[in-house]
Amino acid sequence: MLFSYHIINLLVVSFSAIECKRFSFNYTSYPDIGGQLKYHNVPATWRDARLICDMEGAVLFSPYNSSMKDALDSEIKDMRTDCFGIYIGVNSIFSKGYFFSIEAVALGDMPLQWLPGEPDNADNSEDCIAYVDGCVADINCTELLPFVCYKKSTAMSKPICDTDDEGEPGPRDRCYKLHHEHRTWTQANQICVAEGGQLATIRSREEASYLRIAYLGLVTSDIAFNVIFIGFLDWSGRGDWRTIQGQSLENAGFDDWDSRHLDCSDAGKTCGALQLTNVKLISHWCEHTAPFLCAFPQNSTP
């Protein structure tokens, strides 16, 4: 069932992070390539990997030259994974058989070699590239692999609240980042985790009041925009509303529902959201898309 899928997805993301030997939510500076790299050890499809990098103001990394290849090898050398390599930004999705990076650099111009037997375009469905021990192989873009994001130095600014992009400090040692792009609840949760946070959970009326003041100016006549995903869901599909950490909303500190939107009889409305106009909780369809709010700890060192 749909609610079971979301719980499994949540647990996979959480346990993957726990099992990793070295996991940092920060970017590492590589002066020789004029930017920073960040290894994401939670596997994703190629399209989701590209989306996550884009949400961080970065691009899915492709090693154009030997310095970039050396930096990539350095970034991933201590990472432990059971996956077949990592995704890089090279693909042939829009030009079958001709591989280019996201920035339109041809694979043939990069200091990379094919693994023996590659490319083989198995089942005529391998349009993405996996980087394996300095070589590459074509792979189906729906495979789940780790990946590396890249930010140019000119695109970086001093982070606030230990987020990759500017966040807003709030009460109780937390920071918030509102993503205006519309995503499903599962995609939103994945993006927040990849950025070093989680979908926000509201733990007090003080926190709710802060959010109302901080984001009321964004309220528009577009009702769909005024609904944002946050970090709670119906764990059983029968009205057992809990935070992504497993707490009941009452124990978490805030269970102020907008009764007009709480309709547990609708099987699809099992994901949690916030109504910005009055800062009350609502149920929402998990596969619909909406803006979403991530929360991060203040002044922490991952």
Report the 10 Å Cβ neighbour count for 64.
17
- The DSSP code sequence of 267-283 is TT--EEEEETTTTEEEE
Q: Does residue 159 register a pLDDT over 90?
A: no
Q: Is residue 269 part of a domain?
A: yes
The last residue of a domain, from among 133, 155, 177? 155
Q: Is residue 163 part of a domain?
A: no
Specify the number of domains making up the chain. Answer: 2
pLDDT of residue 55: 79
Write phi, then psi, for 5 (nearest 5 degrees).
Answer: -60, -45
Residues 146 and 190 in one domain: no
* Span of 7-21, 133-147, 188-202 with lowest mean pLDDT: 7-21
Domain that holds residue 182: 168-297
221-275 residue pLDDT tens: 555 568 899 999 998 777 889 888 778 898 888 999 987 655 554 667 889 999 8
Write phi, then psi, for 241 (nearest 5 degrees).
Answer: -80, 120
Q: How far apart are CA 282 and CA 269, in angstroms?
A: 9
Q: Is residue 185 part of a domain?
A: yes
Report the 10 Å Cβ neighbour count for 165.
17
Percent of the chain topping pLDDT 90 = 35
What stretch of H or E contains 77?
Answer: none
**Taking all residues of the chain, what is their mean pLDDT, rounded to a whole number?**
79
Q: Does residue 142 register a pLDDT over 90?
A: yes
CB 87 within 8 A of CB 60: yes
Residues 98 and 125 in one domain: yes
Q: Does residue 166 register a pLDDT over 60?
A: no
Q: How far apart are CA 298 and CA 162, in angstroms?
A: 6
Residues 35 and 129 in one domain: yes
Cis, peptide link before residue 111, omega less than 30° from 0? no
The last residue of a domain, from among 155, 180, 197? 155
Q: Is residue 221 part of a domain?
A: yes
Per-residue pLDDT, averaged over 169-192, amounts to 79
Q: Is residue 214 part of a domain?
A: yes
Domain CATH code at residue 191: 3.10.100.10
93-122 residue pLDDT tens: 877 888 988 877 889 999 999 999 999 999
Residues 225 and 139 in one domain: no
Q: Is residue 5 part of a domain?
A: no
26-71 residue pLDDT tens: 889 999 999 999 999 889 999 889 888 887 888 899 998 999 999 9
Q: Is residue 20 part of a domain?
A: no
Residues 286 and 190 in one domain: yes
pLDDT band at 8 (very low <50, low <70, confident <90, very high): very low
